[in-house]
Amino acid sequence: MDLDLKAALAVAQAAAQVGAEAIAQGYRNQDLTVKNKGLIDLVTQYDLKSEWAIRAIIKKAFPSHDLLAEEEGLDSANPQAPRWHVDPLDGTTNFAHQHPFFAVSVALSVPEPAGWKTLVAVVRAPILREVFWAIRGQGAFLQSLDHRQDGQPLANARQLRVSSANRLVQSLVNTGFPYDVHTRAREIVAPFERMLGQVQAVRRAGAASLDLAFVAAGRAEGYWETGLKPWDVAAGALLVEEAGGQVTDGQGAAYQLEKSPTILASNGLIHQEMVSIINEL
């Protein structure tokens, strides 16, 4: 499949920017209309505004591509078409509580016999003022969105590399809880408790795309979570791989976007130990 990945990245960057501007406006205005999709699964009008803006940019640039997004689902179902995986506001609960750890996640994947292969990724965190991006085979990068007084970027984009920590006791790992945690609390908390006894620290911040981006940036050594959707992880998983890390399912097998129920990402050096702890091996 012949795709201009630099052009696709430019579209992904533009889409993530308009989505981030929409949710940043909501964060500033604090005029949220919050609805429950589930017991603790929220949606606001800004999730929708972000998604509509992102869809408009991507579909204008690539009308023949499919787009799968959190709020309005899959716009068509051509198994041979490239597919955009979009989370217009990853971390809605944080957003609704004025917690700044949330982002827009945009990824482009293509179908292969083994499953979806992500080629382009952008994760943009408007309040943290950072944007992460990657093209498969070309590395992962981070740009600060802050500017000096003269209008120039505060820092040039830097290439990301995962942490070199090779011992669990030196490692900070991230995790998350699925929206049905109230009905599966013991099952979900058990590996969390086991991990807590082995690593330096465990964090549960509430936005999978940023948890993965932080592994790519060397800010955390690992991350695992169950019950995620493809739009949560498509972009972040590519960031980790392009930064030299490892991504599998929770059992250590190949991660399959849209199929694997659990994701495990790490710097690669503590990966097998995390697999063992999660599965109590």
Determine the pLDDT at residue 40.
46
20 and 75 together in one domain: yes
Determine the pLDDT at residue 136.
98
Pairing of strands 130-135, 140-144: antiparallel
Which of 159, 177, 196 is where one domain is finished?
A: 159
72 and 182 together in one domain: no
147 and 187 together in one domain: no
Determine the pLDDT at residue 127.
96
Pairing of strands 83-90, 66-69: parallel
Q: What is the DSSP string of 189-222?
A: HHHHHHHHTTSSEEE--S-HHHHHHHHHTTS-SE
Query: Any idea what DSSP says for residue 38?
Result: S
Pair 131, 121: CB distance under 8 Å:
no
Which of 128, 159, 190 is where one domain is finished?
A: 159
106 and 226 together in one domain: no
Determine the pLDDT at residue 50.
93
Tens-digit pLDDT string for the chain (281 aa): 679 999 999 999 999 999 999 999 988 887 767 777 656 455 678 888 999 999 999 999 999 999 999 877 787 778 889 999 999 999 988 998 999 999 999 999 999 998 999 999 999 999 999 999 999 999 999 999 887 666 666 667 899 999 999 999 999 999 988 666 666 777 778 889 999 999 999 999 999 999 999 999 999 999 999 999 999 999 999 999 999 999 999 999 999 999 999 999 999 999 999 999 999 86
111 and 186 together in one domain: no
187 and 65 together in one domain: no
Determine the pLDDT at residue 185.
72
127 and 183 together in one domain: no
Which of 96, 125, 159 is where one domain is finished?
A: 159
136 and 233 together in one domain: no
Number of domains in the chain: 2
Pair 65, 83: CB distance under 8 Å:
yes
113 and 216 together in one domain: no
Query: Any idea what DSSP says for residue 176?
Result: -
For residue 39, the enclosing domain spans 5-159
Torsion, CA 6, CA 142, CA 264, CA 253, rounded to 10: 30
Pair 266, 222: CB distance under 8 Å:
yes
129 and 257 together in one domain: no
